[in-house]
Amino acid sequence: MMRILIDMDDVTADAVARFLEWYERDFGIRYTRQQLHGTKLSEIVPPEHKQTVLRYPHQKGFFKDLPVIQDSKEVIEALNNIYEVFVVSAAMEFKYSLYDKFEWLDQHFPFIPWKRRVFCGDKTIVKGDVLIDDHDFNLFVFTGRPIVFFSPPNVHYIKNERIDT
Amino acid sequence: MMRILIDMDDVTADAVARFLEWYERDFGIRYTRQQLHGTKLSEIVPPEHKQTVLRYPHQKGFFKDLPVIQDSKEVIEALNNIYEVFVVSAAMEFKYSLYDKFEWLDQHFPFIPWKRRVFCGDKTIVKGDVLIDDHDFNLFVFTGRPIVFFSPPNVHYIKNERIDT
């Protein structure tokens, strides 16, 4: 059966929302998603805030209760009824994310059982037929069919097949 | 470069020790490793204790501070100097294991960085050149060279190349 590998952050879980939320909490300025097109928050904040922003995902709670990307639950559940869907997240960079991501999947994607969840560091280790991801560096190394899922930083990345919603 | 995938429980981390320790704590009886040859603890305890034993790895703390399998650190560090070693654990079955396993690797195998750690459910999702594992069901589905690492339950499993220490 065809295996579809699906990323978490900014494909099913809205990590951009948490970056914007924590930056506003700390510095009182609310950036918009449009301001992140082709870049990322750590690149557009004042240079003295950059390290703070880069540390956010390493802190406890960053990945807890992230909003679900619009329609992702319904679409992935429909795909999962036909294909073998695995969730594959490069979660290992952020040790406090591991438990929060697992719980988040239990809450929002309970139809993806533990056997079809993967937390890795480098996605060259996984194999499958399709990978839906927002990062070019994950898609570039994938040996199956790579599909870019829209996120603000990748808006100008046009080398691959794309899904915008 | 050749990629060697190495399992955690009962290859690098001594989970059998924790099973024996917790069973003794709860029921006052110390089974030996020899008694587990060709079987496992949940199969040899009195039937009324079986569910308790099966629940152990689902409980908080089971995977914390497990003893290191003898010589595994030194041998894997030497392999890692020549090959690309990934640690691949089917940790997803036990949600409380995720953080403890990550910390355990930081403590005992710091030379395996986060990029080369994988927590999955079903090892059919990973690819590599060699897999060293104690479970036949993981080795059976591997497309590279599968090598059995000795653990008491697999002592009679002779279908694969084996490593006993």
- Does the beta carbon of B83 lie under 8 angstroms from any beta carbon of chain A? no
The two beta strands, B145-149 and B130-133, are parallel
Query: How close does chain A come to B45, measured CA to CA in Å?
Result: 28
pTM listed for this prediction: 0.96
Q: Which residues of A touch B88 (CB under 8 A)?
A: 125
ipTM: 0.95
Q: Are A139 and A163 in contact (CB under 8 A)?
A: no
Q: Are A35 and A19 in contact (CB under 8 A)?
A: no
Concerning whether B7 is annotated as a catalytic residue, the answer is: yes
Per-position pLDDT tens, chain B of length 165: 999 999 999 999 999 999 999 999 999 999 999 999 999 999 999 999 999 999 999 999 999 999 999 999 999 999 999 999 999 999 999 999 999 999 999 999 999 999 999 999 999 999 999 999 999 999 999 999 999 999 999 988 877 799 999
Q: How many CA atoms lie within 13 A of B100 on its CB side?
A: 21
- Does the beta carbon of A98 lie under 8 angstroms from any beta carbon of chain B? yes
- Does the beta carbon of A4 lie under 8 angstroms from any beta carbon of chain B? no
Q: Strand, coil or helix: what is A91? A: helix
**Tokens 């992140």 map to which residue?**
A36
Return d(Cα A156, Cα B7) in angstroms, integer: 40
Q: Strand, coil or helix: what is B39? A: coil
Nearest-10 Cα torsion for B57, B58, B64, B66 = 10
Concerning whether B133 is annotated as a catalytic residue, the answer is: no
Return d(Cα B105, Cα A87) in angstroms, integer: 23
Q: State both tokens at A144.
A: 């199956």
Q: Which of A3, A5, A95 is the closest to B102 by Cβ?
A: A95
The beta-strand segments (E) located in A24-133 are 84-89, 117-119, 130-133
What is the phi-psi region of residue B100: left when phi exceeds 0, alpha when psi lies from -120 to 50, beta otherwise? alpha
Phi first, then psi, for residue B160 (nearest 5°) are -120, 165
Interface-testing mutation among A115, A124, A142, with chain B (most B C-beta atoms within 10 A): A115
Q: State both tokens at B52.
A: 């308790």
Nearest to A15 by CA among A30, A27, A33: A33
Q: Are B91 and B8 in contact (CB under 8 A)?
A: yes
Q: Are A114 and A129 in contact (CB under 8 A)?
A: no
Nearest CA in chain A to B115: A121
